[in-house]
């Protein structure tokens, strides 16, 4: 294995090259843009044989993805923040039309005020769309997640799209060592996409995206929930197969020194690397602290999270998003789905730096929880 040093954006582009999409509609937006640029270069160099469509908006990027996917080919696009918000309408349609699109989202704050920096409000706000969502911690996981996501999304039992989320700048523009699998291995792991449920083929005419009255709509939406449930098994199976081939195993959640922990933090994405460092330091001082990193956010791994935290005395959930009057969305999902007292913390909105000292503060406040979600790293009133 030869590790190459690259940004998570490049890692995602490398993964896209390996899965050989036929159509790639893209529109630039910071901090996703370099994914589009890498892919443009791969297509220009003949390394990817695909139609690269320079669409005039993210709305058209996802629309063209859906048209191409409906025509029966594998597609890819990437976006961020305002772009994802602009896609919103078609994000729901893509899931409803059961198009196994895989899209990368470079997590970035939503306007206003305008910010190009990281938080996870953009993708979290699409949580009810019917897309599966993966939050990667580093470049390797970003690459591997794209590879696995195609196999999960295209599975006949699932047929739902997947959003692979990476923290803007923190991952998109920093480099770490990544193992890029060989093309031959991926060709074996991921067969060609040959849809049986939806295709536009004059030899077998089909109408896709019809008008539905109240006799059918609920069933169509319920079918999606059934598929989301089945995706749990498929994700496990694909992850197992991936581990056997490539030697890297990904679970729904990653448990870090949480087995005997009295205090457990729960978080998603790149912040978990900082938390792990802080945990190591606190453990050296004899404090039993651990982390549960939620990797797969949809389908939501209720059992896995509950099993991992039920033995802890204190649980703190860290969100880089906020639902007004309610608090962090991960925090509230956990509280609503399991019998656990969990403190909630809002951090890092709009790229506010999260320092080890903030994590230590969160650990302390988790041990003496407040009823309300606490905003950590907020400036003192002036």
Q: Which residues of the chain form contacts with other proteins (CB under 8 A)?
A: 22-23, 25, 49-51, 53-57, 59-60, 63-73, 75, 89-90, 93, 97, 199-202, 204-213, 216
Minimum CB distance to other proteins, residue 206 (Å): 6
Nearer to other proteins, 209 or 311 (CB): 209
How far apart CA 109 and CA 122 sit, in angstroms, is 6
Pick between residue 223 and residue 241 the one whose CB is nearest to other proteins.
Answer: 223
Omega within 30 of 0 (cis) for the link into 299: yes
Cα–Cα dist 173/7, whole Å: 6
Cβ within 8 Å of residue 272, ≥6 positions away: 137, 254, 256, 291, 293
d(CA 317, CA 118): 18
Which C-beta is closer to other proteins: that of 196 or that of 213? 213
Reference 294, options 256, 265, 252, 329; nearest CA is 252
Characterize the bridge pairing of strands 132-135 and 102-107: unpaired
Provide, rounded to whole angstroms, the least separation between the CB of residue 26 and other proteins: 12
Handedness of CA 298, 303, 308, 309 (dihedral sign): positive
Please tell me what DSSP assigns to residue 323.
Answer: B
Are 29 and 55 spatial neighbours (Cβ–Cβ below 8 Å)? Answer: no
State the minimum distance, in angstroms, from the CB of residue 305 to other proteins.
Answer: 35
Residue (of 31, 175, 161) closest to 106 by Cα position = 31
* Nearest residue (CB) to other proteins, 200 versus 337: 200
Compute the least distance from the CB of residue 214 to other proteins, in Å.
Answer: 11
d(CA 35, CA 14): 9
* Pairing of the two strands 23-26 and 263-267: unpaired
**Cβ closer to other proteins: 77 or 366?**
77
Q: Which is nearer to other proteins, 57 or 370 (CB)?
A: 57
Q: How far apart are CA 151 and CA 159, in angstroms?
A: 10
Q: What whole-number distance in Å separates Cα of residue 367 and Cα of residue 250? A: 29
Closest approach, Cβ 138 to other proteins, in A, equals: 32
Minimum gap (Å) between residue 53 Cβ and other proteins: 6
Shortest distance, position 45 Cβ to other proteins, whole Å: 17
Smallest gap from residue 215 Cβ to other proteins (A): 9
Min dist CB 65 to other proteins, Å, is 6
Nearer to other proteins, 204 or 372 (CB): 204
State in angstroms the smallest separation of the CB of 254 from other proteins: 36
User: Which distant-in-sequence residues (6+ apart) come within 8 Å of 171 by Cβ?
Assistant: 7, 8, 9, 106, 136, 138, 139, 142, 269, 270
Distance CA 377, CA 346 (A): 9
Distance between CA atoms of residues 98 and 157, nearest Å: 11
Residue with Cβ nearer other proteins (193 or 246): 193
- By beta-carbon proximity to other proteins, the closer residue of 87 and 330 is 87
* Residue with smaller CB distance to other proteins, 48 or 374: 48
Alpha carbons within 13 A on the beta-carbon side of 106:
34
In angstroms, rounded to a whole number, what is the distance separating the alpha carbons of residues 160 and 130? Answer: 7
Burial class of residue 3 (count of CB atoms within 10 Å of its CB; 0-12, 13-18, 19+): exposed
């Amino acid at each position: 294995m030869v590790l190459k040093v690259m940004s998570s954006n490049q890692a995602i582009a490398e993964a896209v090259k390996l899965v050989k999409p036929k159509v790639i509609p893209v529109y630039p937006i910071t901090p996703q843009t370099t994914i589009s640029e890498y892919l443009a270069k791969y297509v220009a160099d003949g390394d990817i044989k695909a139609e690269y469509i320079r669409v005039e908006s993210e709305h058209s990027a996802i629309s063209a993805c859906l048209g191409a996917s409906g025509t029966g080919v594998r597609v890819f696009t990437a976006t961020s923040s305002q772009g994802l918000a602009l896609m919103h309408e078609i994000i729901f349609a893509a899931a409803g039309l059961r198009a196994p699109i895989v899209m990368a989202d470079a997590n970035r704050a939503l306007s206003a005020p305008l910010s190009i920096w990281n938080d996870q409000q953009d993708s979290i706000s699409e949580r009810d769309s019917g897309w599966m969502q993966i939050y990667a911690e580093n470049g390797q996981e970003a690459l591997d997640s794209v590879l696995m996501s195609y196999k999960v999304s295209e599975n006949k039992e699932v047929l739902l799209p997947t959003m692979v989320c990476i923290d803007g700048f923190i991952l998109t523009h920093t480099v770490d060592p990544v193992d890029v699998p060989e093309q031959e291995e991926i060709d074996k792991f991921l067969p060609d996409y040959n849809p049986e449920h939806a295709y536009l083929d004059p030899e077998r005419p089909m109408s896709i995206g019809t008008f539905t009255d109240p006799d059918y709509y609920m069933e169509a939406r319920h079918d999606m929930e059934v598929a989301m449930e089945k995706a749990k098994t498929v994700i496990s199976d694909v992850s197992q197969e991936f581990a056997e081939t490539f030697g890297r195993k990904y679970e729904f959640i990653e448990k870090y020194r949480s087995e005997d922990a009295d205090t457990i933090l729960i978080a998603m994405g790149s912040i978990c690397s900082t938390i792990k460092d802080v945990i190591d330091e606190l453990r050296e001082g004899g404090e039993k602290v651990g982390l549960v990193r939620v990797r797969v956010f949809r389908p939501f791994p209720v059992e896995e999270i509950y099993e991992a935290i039920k033995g802890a005395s204190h649980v703190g959930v860290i969100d880089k998003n906020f639902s007004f009057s309610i608090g962090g969305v991960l925090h509230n999902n956990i509280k609503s789905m399991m019998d656990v007292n969990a403190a909630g913390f809002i951090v890092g909105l709009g790229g506010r730096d999260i320092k080890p000292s903030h994590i230590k503060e969160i650990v302390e406040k988790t041990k003496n929880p407040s009823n309300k979600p606490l905003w950590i790293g907020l400036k003192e009133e002036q």
